[in-house]
Structure 1
Amino acid sequence: MTAKRKIAFHLNCLEQGGAERVVSNLANQFAKEGYEVLIATQWYGENEFQIEKEVKRVHVGLTEEDEKKSRIWQFVARILHLRAFMKEERPDVLIAFAQRANYRALMASFGTKVPVMISIRTDPVGHYDAISDKIQIPLLFPRAAGCVFQTEGQREFFAPFLQKKSRIILNPLHDKYIGTKKPKQRTKDVVQSGRLVDFKNQPMLLKAFIEVHKKHPDYTLKIYGGDSQDGTKEILEEIIEKNHAEDYIQLMGASDSLEEKLADAAVYAFSSDWEGLPNALLEAMALGLPIVATDCPCGGPRTIMKDGVSGLLIPIKDQKALEEGINKLIENPEYAQQLGDEARKIGEIANSKAIFEQWRDYIEEICSKGKR
């Protein structure tokens, strides 16, 4: 390759979330490697991930005039704005992240000769199986030049034509989570990190920990994560108040220094009912935390953890199993440390350099095929 390529990412915004984190990290890395990088987004969020000054951010969302028109027009306008961006910038490839961005990019690509890679970032069940999806997927997904999945479970949901032209690539870990010092002594904290949101089933975690606390009254539960505004925070506060648990269950809010706040915890408890590939779990593993995690669809935890080796996997929505898992790790600190030491090895395969190279090689493969 004699000249670096021009690559563009497309997603709704850069507000702090899993897909947004991956795009921000990848865009920054590609820019540092000398690629010309653009990020085309629908809107600007209040609390966004930072991108390097070399990365060009382009607004392809609705204009003030569009906002005054019908929903049908707004749907069309989003596609037209993205199409205009693709025709003007002529990237070597456009990489779309998440459901609506995937559909929008494939629709906008007609007549542009720009290859589109799509990326599935969540459990397809419940997100890619509505009537509208069953219409759009057969019409649009054959146009994709390639597809990136996070887990085998995601890939198996889709038809063979998409599976054959796909890759499974883990999310990249931020360097600050890799190579941290092993704590000399662990605190008596059980922790979780992630937004307060319904599918993470934090109410189950609170109820399980209330039972754990009866057996281990010197332990506390701390949940680090911002409010998603879906009512979950209020549910959690009600559980805490009802059980007079204010002294031992704390909602800590969002934090930018989790690598420090989580590192010496006794247990990391993951309670989600479904996820894509959870960044929070990857980070907890890289920090070497003893982990008990739900084996949730579409197989994210199972993709990166081995039950009984690098953590404990339990069934989803099983409060008793979560309680027993936390107790087991509290009561068997040497075993818990063994799990944590093994979990830490995730940094060897999910570090930013390794993941960047997988994306780079796949992008180069797609571009070299010349499928425009």
Structure 2
Amino acid sequence: MRLALVAYLHGAGGAERQIILLGNEMKKRGHDVHLLILAENKSNYDIADGVHIYDLSVVEHGGKFDIIKRYFALRKWLKKIHPEITINYNLQGAYFSMLLGNRICGKILYSERGDPYDKEYSGVLGHVRDITCKKVDALVFQSEGARDFFEIGEKQKAIVIHNSVVVPQDKYPIPSARDNRIVTVGRLHSQKNPQLLVDAFALIADIYPDMTLEFYGDGDLKEEIQSIINSKGLSERVHLHASRKDIFDCIRTARLFVLTSDYEGMPNALMEAMALGLPCISTDCRPGGARTLIKSGKNGIIVPPRNVNALVDKMMYMLENPREAELMAIEAYKIGTTHTNVVTFDKWNQFLISIL
């Protein structure tokens, strides 16, 4: 198949990683893969040899007509590529593809990567999303919760495919000893609600004087979160680290991994923590990806979002009951075999074949 993947590579996010992985894995399976990069090209993820790359972000210069330039650049190259399927992980790309039509794009697929219930879709953008999703040929969702939001047309094909997790478990067995750290990984952004974790840690800091809290990730809330940390007198115990390529080595021996997001498509950081064998707590973030991964009390713990007391209660439970925490970590570790690239992208491959 000749596949066009329309990518917005804003940085080290999950959607960026997953669309590049999709391109790489489809190339391995013998498909002719074309990656068209719009808006920004800031991702450091490796793109496989043989994937054709078109950096269309070079036509943009921060002006008011950039979106028009973006549309026509995409139109130009899709006409030359003439794909059998155009795959979009971003609503704008899917909308552009819908406008261009099947003669240029082939079959049009949209994969919802965020939270369809989010308030950003309450206005005009919501109408654009609804129109687009009714017109595309196929839809891929990361979670059952996201799928349940949409009405699938009789002529449309749709499937739920969870993200893959890439942790070399031969290199990273479950550690035999843990250090007194609570860790989290993700952008310092309102979506991730980092303050909730700082507030929760502040309430247990005196009970566990040897425990530290470590954030790994950049973001526009860094100064604000650091100010909150300082105001609570925790500057020596709560540390804000930049994003790291060696993140597995940084977090694998921690006592606890905590995700406090308000919403996530499918939380890649949580999946990696589970595949490293970390005891995990996650908020029940919309639209249900964490709940899909964690069976609370069996392979981790789910808590209500934005509820500091519930989070504190479960953090203390994990810290006070290390044996139970380790049993959950052992169960969580199994995600490393159930959500491999082979499993995930074989499903993608079969679905793409089915929509032609």
> TM-score band, normalised by the shorter chain?
over 0.9
1:102 and 2:94 equivalent? yes
Q: Give the match for residue 13 of structure 2.
A: 17
Identity across aligned pairs (percent)?
A: 28
Unaligned 5+ runs, structure 1: 368-372
State the match for 2:32 in structure 1. Answer: 36
Among 123, 128, 132, which residue is 1:136 paired with? 128
Q: How does 1:187-336 map to 2 (within 5 A)?
A: 187-226=179-218, 228-229=219-220, 232-336=221-325
| SS of 1:273 mapped into structure 2 | coil
Partner of residue 355, structure 2: 366
- On the 8 A contact 1:79/1:105 being kept in 2, the answer is no
Matches of 1:113 and 1:287 in 2, distance apart?
Answer: 40
Tell me, in whole angstroms, the C-alpha distance in 2 between the residues paired with 1:317 and 1:67: 36
Q: Can you list the C-alpha shifts for 1:42-80, whole angstroms capped at 9, x where unaligned?
A: 14434432212311111334626x866x54xx4343222
- Equivalent position SS for 2:248: helix
| Counterpart Cα distance in 1 of 2:120 and 2:99 | 17
Which aligned pairs between 1:166-185 and structure 2 lie closer than 5 A? Answer: 166-176=158-168, 180-185=172-177
Q: 2:74 corresponds to which residue?
A: 82
With normalisation by structure 2, the TM-score equals: 0.94
**1:94 deviation in Å?**
0.8
Contact 1:28–1:55 (8 Å) recurs in 2? yes
- How many positions carry a matched residue from both structures? 356
Change in CA separation of 1:8 and 1:111 when aligned onto 2, cut-off 3 Å: closer
Structure 2: which amino acid aligns with 1:255? R
* SS at 2:215 equivalent: strand
Q: Counterpart of 1:24 in 2: which secondary structure?
A: helix
Deviation, structure 1 residue 214: 1.1
C-alpha contact (below 8 Å) 1:106/1:141 kept by paired residues: no
* CA deviations over 1:260-311 (Å, ceiling 9, x no partner): 1111110111111111111001101111111111011100110111011111
Which shows bigger deviation, 122-131 or 167-176?
Answer: 122-131
Residues of 2 paired with 1:319 and 1:136: CA distance? 36
Amino acid paired to 2:210: D
Deviations 1:168-222 (A, max 9, x none): 1111112436772111111111100111111111111011101111111111111
| Counterparts in 2 of 1:346 and 1:177: CA distance versus 1, 3 Å | same
Separation in structure 2 between the aligned mates of residue 303 and residue 279 of structure 1, nearest angstrom: 13
Query: CA RMSD for the aligned pairs?
Result: 2.1
The structure-2 alpha-carbon separation of the partners of 1:173 and 1:345, relative to structure 1 and needing over 3 Å to count, comes to same
8 Å contact from structure 1 (residues 61, 78) kept in 2 = yes
8 A contact 2:83–2:105 mirrored in 1: no
Distance 1:248 1:126 in 2: 34
TM-score for the superposition, normalised by structure 1: 0.90
- Letter of the 1:298 partner, please give it: P
